[in-house]
Structure 1
Amino acid sequence: MVNVALLSKWHVHADDYARQANQNEHIQIKVVWDENVERGQEWAKKLAVPFEKDLKNVLTNPEIDAVIVDTPTNLHKEIIMLAANNRKHIFTEKVLAFTVQDCEEIYEAVSKSQVKLMVSLPRLTEKYYLYAEQVLNEGLLGNLTSIRCRLAHNGAVPLAGNPNGWLPKHFFNKEECGGGAFIDLGAHPIYLTNRLAGPVKAVTARLQSQSEDEVDVNSVAIIEYENGALGIIETGFLSSGSPFQLELYGTEGALLIEDDKIRLKSKLLGEGWYTPDALPSAMPLPMEQWITSIIEGEIPTITENDVQGLTLVNQSAILSQIEGRRVATSEILTVKHCG
């Protein structure tokens, strides 16, 4: 049994992870900590476990094997490194950290303490993604030339009595979040397209906010990949009814995914559009992979490269927005190594 501490209910997915933990026969939630004491006490009561207001007491408790981190993103590095230094395994909401250098420091601490770190990138386990990967690997699209991914919702569309929409107010706190729609919801298109198209060469982004003080709520990035392909990532908090879309175009065909509708056209399959009869089986969710890696030593399919690549695009996009220009990822990586 892996005894787990829940660290904060700040993120909107915290309840989801608590539910996944409770449903996993190998996990036992033992305690809750939260930087917001009132919120943490309420959550602990709901989960019928103790609340501990001192993080040090949680991390030095020998009965605690692992932590699930849903703190504000700007606390990730400090808390995750403290957990690692206390030899606690770590599951965390994306993104891991704001900079590639911070990510590397976290991974160094994790490696030194020989604990397992999992960042939740769940769409890499989905059937549609695995099918897209299969289509590419089988050469049905030829050479990939373009990729586009859109994921948006209406979380910031004003509601009666709530001018911020249904997202919690703190999701618009630039200091805590490091950004808005792009860094949070846009993470999914970023890590999906990174995995399918390969290493990123440059990013040109427009992260649009409704005022100078707010985070972005409607964002687009053009991605240049090292293999010559181009990518378009679209995300936002202002779109009602927007479907999830993942499109791949190549020299021999095209793959269009819109929610649960999948269409493939390939010269290798003849004329017209093809709809697959079956998709690959979904892989275990990130939390399941994390626990399996702790108990059985199995290597997860979600990797450090996926996590670092996500932060690299985010960091490049923010610099592109600030300076109004195309940003080569080599600039970020050069600064990291010089630092």
Structure 2
Amino acid sequence: MSHPLAVAAIGFWHVHAGDYARAAEQHPDTALVAVWDDDEQRGRAAAEEFGVEFVADLDELLARPDLDGVTITTSTDVHHDVISRAVAAGKHVFTEKLLAPTVDEAEDLVHRASAAGVALVVSLPRLYDDYTVAIERILDEGSLGDLTYSRVRLAHDGWVAGWLPERFADPAEATGGALTDLGCHPAYLTRLYHRAEPLTVTASYGSVTGRRVEDNAVVTAEFPGGRLGVFEASVVTTPGAFTVELRGTRASVMFGFGGERLLAKGGDFGDEWQEIPLPESRPGAFAQWVQHIHDGTTADDNLEHAVALTRTVVAANASAEAGRAVAWSAATATAPVR
């Protein structure tokens, strides 16, 4: 391996492409060395912005023996192809979510990476944030009692303010709308909080702007024992919002309602809302990827969440299309999006 690790940014389709390129620049153990994009004009512009080489041929770039890893921020529909080629070339992969459009493809990528002995990590950043660490501790302590209901909402003004690219409305490239991209974060947090797989998923999608994919989405997941998890996404909300609400048989916690504070009430927390101090965040997904490369280890927890996330999104898309609840365990293939 190179010291620091040599990393190439593969694709600038996604709005987070620049974030991961900067992460490769700023991490003390990585260096950004090249850019590839299937849109040459976009790729050359990105390479110029970051002061690195643009390589027009992906296979030529992946064949370089001095390249250690890649960040993948292509359109979602080509993730399986591009990640498979990177893994086959022995390159470690840090990728934007979704890992792949279908469960079969996601599971195949995990298997390929394991067989090749390369580190594969999916960007699921809110798993590691300070409020998540605090909420997990509260759940571990049993302070809420049995969790009966959760609601997680993430929203921004991308298609109100005009900064979200129109390519995010391409049903083929994006494989969905607000729920498939932004809604991934509430989806994997809901699974984390309930500590179980959903039984069924029921989704309702709306398009305020009239685009071919949803810009408003509400999904209800039914968990064992009648517990419900609601997760929502919107790209037509001003101002943006991130909120978490957890209700248990003994107490409740809320985050993000009117400020970046975690509040708790009931049971051991007392009869009035009180603020819960936030601990340090865990190392982020990119830092974990670098550590896995150095240690020769596999990001098992991250990849389990990533595959389950693909299944959840597939189930939500299928439910919205069919207008009924869909069994979570049966969701495997990409459903048409409206």
Distance in 2 between residues matched to 1:322 and 1:272, nearest whole Å: 43
Distance in 2 between residues matched to 1:106 and 1:118, nearest whole Å: 11
Structure 1 residue 210 displacement after superposition: 4.5
- Residue 98 of structure 1 aligns with an amino acid whose one-letter code is P
Q: Which residues of structure 1 form unaligned runs of 5+? A: 160-164
Runs (4+) off by over 6 Å: none
The answer to whether residue 182 in structure 2 is matched with residue 179 in structure 1 is: no
The answer to whether residue 229 in structure 2 is matched with residue 231 in structure 1 is: yes
Q: Is the 8 A contact 1:59 1:88 kept in 2?
A: yes
Structure 1 residue 99 displacement after superposition: 1.2
Question: Which residue is 2:323 aligned to?
Answer: 324
Structure 1 residue 81 displacement after superposition: 0.7
Choose 15-24 or 293-302, whichever is displaced more.
293-302
Distance in 1 between residues matched to 2:28 and 2:209, nearest whole Å: 47
Q: Give the structure-1-normalised TM-score.
A: 0.93
Q: Is the 8 A contact 1:286 1:302 kept in 2?
A: no
Distance in 1 between residues matched to 2:167 and 2:86, nearest whole Å: 24
Question: Which residue is 1:306 aligned to?
Answer: 305
The answer to whether residue 131 in structure 2 is matched with residue 133 in structure 1 is: no
Deviations along 1:122-156, one digit per CA (max 9) or x if unpaired, are 01110011111111110110000000001111111
Distance in 1 between residues matched to 2:88 and 2:299, nearest whole Å: 22
Alignment of 1:221-260 (within 5 A): 221-258=219-256, 259-260=259-260
Question: Which residue is 2:273 aligned to?
Answer: 273
Question: Which residue is 1:288 aligned to?
Answer: 287
- Residue 191 of structure 1 aligns with an amino acid whose one-letter code is Y
Question: Which residue is 2:207 aligned to?
Answer: 209
Structure 1 residue 271 displacement after superposition: 2.6
Distance in 2 between residues matched to 1:280 and 1:326, nearest whole Å: 38
Q: Is the 8 A contact 1:72 1:177 kept in 2?
A: yes
Among 65, 76, 83, which residue is 1:80 paired with? 83
Structure 1 residue 316 displacement after superposition: 0.3
Structure 1 residue 301 displacement after superposition: 7.8
The answer to whether residue 148 in structure 2 is matched with residue 145 in structure 1 is: yes
The answer to whether residue 54 in structure 2 is matched with residue 57 in structure 1 is: no
Q: Is the 8 A contact 2:318 2:326 kept in 1?
A: yes
Aligned residues: 328
Question: The residue matched to 2:241 in structure 1 has which SS?
Answer: coil
Q: Evaluate the alpha carbon distance shift between residue 301 and residue 114 of structure 1 in structure 2; reply closer, same or farther with a 3 A threshold.
A: closer
Distance in 2 between residues matched to 1:53 and 1:299, nearest whole Å: 31
Structure 1 residue 296 displacement after superposition: 2.5
Q: Is the 8 A contact 1:124 1:302 kept in 2?
A: no
Structure 1 residue 176 displacement after superposition: 0.3
Deviations along 1:79-123, one digit per CA (max 9) or x if unpaired, are 001111111100001110111111011111111101000100001
The answer to whether residue 172 in structure 2 is matched with residue 169 in structure 1 is: no
- Residue 219 of structure 2 aligns with an amino acid whose one-letter code is A
The answer to whether residue 117 in structure 2 is matched with residue 114 in structure 1 is: yes
Structure 1 residue 329 displacement after superposition: 1.2
Q: Is the 8 A contact 2:120 2:298 kept in 1?
A: no
- Residue 267 of structure 1 aligns with an amino acid whose one-letter code is G
- Residue 307 of structure 1 aligns with an amino acid whose one-letter code is A
Question: The residue matched to 2:331 in structure 1 has which SS?
Answer: helix
Distance in 2 between residues matched to 1:130 and 1:298, nearest whole Å: 23
Distance in 2 between residues matched to 1:323 and 1:300, nearest whole Å: 35
Question: Which residue is 1:162 aligned to?
Answer: none
Question: Which residue is 2:263 aligned to?
Answer: 263
Alignment of 1:186-201 (within 5 A): 186-197=183-194, 198-201=196-199
Q: Which residues of structure 2 form unaligned runs of 5+? A: none
Q: Evaluate the alpha carbon distance shift between residue 327 and residue 94 of structure 1 in structure 2; reply closer, same or farther with a 3 A threshold.
A: same
Structure 1 residue 331 displacement after superposition: 2.0
The answer to whether residue 117 in structure 2 is matched with residue 100 in structure 1 is: no
Distance in 1 between residues matched to 2:238 and 2:211, nearest whole Å: 24
Structure 1 residue 201 displacement after superposition: 1.0
Structure 1 residue 42 displacement after superposition: 1.4
Q: Is the 8 A contact 2:70 2:94 kept in 1?
A: yes
Structure 1 residue 224 displacement after superposition: 0.7
Q: Evaluate the alpha carbon distance shift between residue 301 and residue 261 of structure 1 in structure 2; reply closer, same or farther with a 3 A threshold.
A: farther
| Identical-pair percentage | 37
Q: Evaluate the alpha carbon distance shift between residue 268 and residue 173 of structure 1 in structure 2; reply closer, same or farther with a 3 A threshold.
A: same
- Residue 153 of structure 1 aligns with an amino acid whose one-letter code is H
Distance in 1 between residues matched to 2:9 and 2:255, nearest whole Å: 35
Distance in 1 between residues matched to 2:17 and 2:329, nearest whole Å: 35
Distance in 2 between residues matched to 1:211 and 1:154, nearest whole Å: 12
Distance in 2 between residues matched to 1:253 and 1:299, nearest whole Å: 36
Among 2, 20, 23, which residue is 2:26 paired with? 23
Structure 1 residue 30 displacement after superposition: 1.4
